[in-house]
């Protein structure tokens, strides 16, 4: 082998090694950029869950007739079984009553209203035709879900009922029927790549 050929081979090997190092450096920067990219944490509960709850409550209240209490000064207390934001639910319902002419003021109230929300929450369920995600045995490689058809159901439910008592004697006066409100947000996947959503959370509540 000639001296010139040996020199050429040496230069080629050095060039290949340098290219490999350069590639590794570039890859490390790329991975680092992905790892340190800014990602906002999701709120708890999620925005969709908050919408489902609020729309359900709106629709439950819309089914309650409160004209019998309009023009009167009342005290109002709100009771729920949910461990969620009790203060928000209370203020929301009191604002709703005020919008309909019910004056909520504890001092000198002629009626005491007890607003019960025995149901206030969301439900989640899934149906899948295909292969669920799993961990491959032996090699421990995660295998993604293969969905020929997938239906993800998110439901909101609220029930509201109002009891009225005399302000001074606490004697029972009247009660409303139970108002029930529902909302939905469903995600569908068909043949792996076709995705669409069916929801009614943007529809206004009707009274």
Asked whether residue 68 falls in the same domain as residue 95, the answer is yes
What mean pLDDT, rounded, does the chain reach? 83
187 — pLDDT class (breaks 50, 70, 90): very high
Q: Measure the CA–CA gap between 87 and 106, rounded to whole angstroms.
A: 17
Question: Are 105 and 22 in a shared domain?
Answer: no
Q: 43 lies in a domain?
A: no
Asked whether the beta carbons of 146 and 128 are under 8 A apart, the reply is: no
pLDDT in tens, 110-165: 999 999 999 999 999 999 999 999 888 878 888 899 999 999 999 999 999 999 99
pLDDT: which is higher, 74 or 2 = 74
Residues 98 and 158 in one domain: yes
172-175 and 194-199: which strand pairing?
unpaired
* Structural domain count of the chain: 2
Q: Do 15 and 112 lie in a common domain?
A: no
Is residue 37 in a domain?
no
DSSP letter at 46? -
Do 22 and 55 sit in the same domain of this protein? no
The answer to whether residue 153 sits within a structural domain is yes
> Residue 158 forms beta bridges with which residues?
120, 181
Mean pLDDT of 69-74: 90
Tell me 35's DSSP state: H
Q: Could you give the CA distance from residue 160 to residue 173 in angstroms, rounded to a whole number?
A: 18
- Domain range for residue 112? 48-199
Say which residue, 130 or 19, is predicted with more confidence.
130
Residue 60 has which token pair?
């439950």
Residue with the two structure tokens 């993800």: 152
Q: Could you tell me whether strands 134-135 and 142-143 are parallel, antiparallel, or unpaired per DSSP bridges?
A: antiparallel
pTM: 0.75
pLDDT at res. 13: 56
Q: Are 96 and 189 part of one and the same domain?
A: yes
> What does the alpha-carbon distance between residue 67 and residue 70 come to, in Å, rounded to a whole number?
5
pLDDT on residue 10? 52
**Does any domain span residue 83?**
yes
């Amino acid at each position: 082998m000639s001296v010139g050929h040996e020199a050429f081979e040496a230069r080629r090997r050095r060039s290949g090694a340098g290219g490999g190092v350069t590639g590794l450096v570039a890859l490390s920067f790329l991975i680092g950029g992905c790892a340190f990219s800014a990602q906002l944490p999701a709120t708890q509960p999620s925005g969709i869950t908050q919408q489902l709850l609020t729309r359900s409550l709106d629709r439950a209240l819309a089914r309650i007739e409160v004209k019998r209490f309009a023009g009167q000064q009342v005290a109002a207390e709100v009771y729920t079984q949910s461990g969620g934001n009790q203060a928000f639910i209370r203020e929301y319902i009191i604002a709703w009553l005020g919008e309909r002419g019910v004056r909520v003021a504890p001092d000198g109230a002629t009626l005491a209203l007890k607003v019960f929300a025995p149901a206030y929450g969301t439900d989640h369920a899934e149906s899948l035709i295909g292969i669920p995600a799993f961990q491959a045995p032996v090699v421990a490689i995660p295998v993604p879900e293969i969905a020929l058809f997938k239906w993800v159901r998110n439901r909101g439910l609220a029930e509201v009922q109002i009891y009225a008592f005399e302000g001074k004697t606490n004697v029972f006066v009247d009660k409303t029927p139970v108002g029930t409100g529902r909302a939905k947000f469903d995600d569908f996947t068909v043949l792996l790549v076709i995705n669409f959503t069916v929801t009614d959370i943007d529809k206004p509540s009707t009274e």
